Structure 1
Amino acid sequence: MDTQELFRNEVKKLKGTEFWGIVGGRGTGSVISLSFGEMYPKKISSKNSSLSDAVRNNDPEYSLMVDCPWRIEDGEVVICGSHHSNEVDGPFQSAFERVIGTKVTSVYCNAPAYDMMLGLSNGIFIKIFCSSIGADHQECYSFGTPLGWFSVFFDGQVKVE
């Protein structure tokens, strides 16, 4: 099985998982980290009081570290996106509160670029776009799974560690 096929198979496993953690906002720029599936207790908990208890004390079964443009929307309005202000009590925070605790009901992630769209049980979508203008790196997002970390780059290149 080639890397892209292995990646696609792992991404499909997000369907049905609980979305229990998200990190982003002040101090992270537009980068966000998402946590799904089982929670595995960390050997050493984070001391960062800005994190939820779940994120501070657990590692996820599946995770996404998103460095490229992203958007959270409900099909009618954009709730928040990487282009919004990430200040405390800004749109990031209110959007994050709406998605935590939902389940992933659909996953779309196809060649050639591997943009991703996650449908959530409350009707909200998280969309990830493998593009950027003026980026100084080529990695769009990383996807952590029990098999390892997949990195998705511009133009659909996928690598696994």
Structure 2
Amino acid sequence: MSNDSVSILQTFRDPLIGLPLSHLWRGAGSAIFLEFGRLASRRRRDGTLGNPRGEFGLMIEWSWRIEDSTSILCGSWSEEPLWETTFDLVRNKSLSELSIVGRLPEIVVALSDNLFVSSFMTAEGDPAWALFDRREAILRTLSVRQGRLELET
């Protein structure tokens, strides 16, 4: 990773350390959303309540897996009834490390109790994840474009 990429990652990583995974929800298809820190309610366009948003959020479109220290517990290709019980294992765990791995940047979230959530794209294109910093009035998003980390505001 370049020095710029390391610096960008640090601006997200440092304030995330110690925050709880306050909410985890499933989006369309196999997409998952991890919400960290204090939650804020949100409304859908039709006025109904939507999933709350955390101070930070991580969207992994596909593919993903949840691991403990010795095995894969569940992944985007697992039987769906296994998903919710595995999601319950990681909810409310504290974020202990955030890292980028691989030649093409994949994200790994290390949680307390030796639990991990990892992205790993299995199709053409870029890894399909995005990290959101919602603490300020201006949303900052870290994602992958053309094989490199990209920061958007």
Shorter-chain TM range is 0.7 to 0.9
Tell me if 1:142 matches 2:133. Answer: no
What stretches of structure 1 move > 6 A for 4+ residues in a row? none
- Aligned partner letter, 2:59: M
C-alpha separation between the residues in 2 aligned to 1:39 and 1:150?
20
TM-score w.r.t. structure 1 length?
A: 0.74
The CA RMSD measured in Å over matched residues stands at 2.6
Task: Work out whether 1:15 is the aligned partner of 2:22.
Answer: no
Is the CA contact 1:109–1:117 (under 8 Å) kept in the aligned structure 2? yes
- Equivalenced residue count is 144
Gaps of 5+ in 2: none
- Check whether the contact 2:106–2:127 (CA below 8 A) recurs between aligned residues: no
* Residue number in structure 1 paired with 2:35: 35
**Scaled by the length of structure 2, what TM-score is found?**
0.78
**2: CA distance between counterparts of 1:142 and 1:74?**
23
Q: 1:11 touches 1:109 (CA, 8 Å); kept in 2?
A: no
2:57 is aligned to 63
Kindly indicate whether residue 110 of structure 2 is the aligned counterpart of residue 119 of structure 1: yes
Q: Which has the higher contact order (CA 8 A, sep 6+)?
A: 1
**Percentage of pairs with the same residue:** 20
SS of corresponding position for 1:98: helix
Distance 2:105 2:14 in 1: 13
Structure 1: runs of 5+ lacking an equivalent: 49-54
Superposed CA deviations along residues 11-50 of structure 1, whole A, max 9, x for unmatched, are: 34321111011111xx7221111100122343x47746xx
Q: Quick one: structure 1 residues 11 and 77, their matched pair in 2 at CA, closer, same or farther if it must change by over 3 Å?
A: same
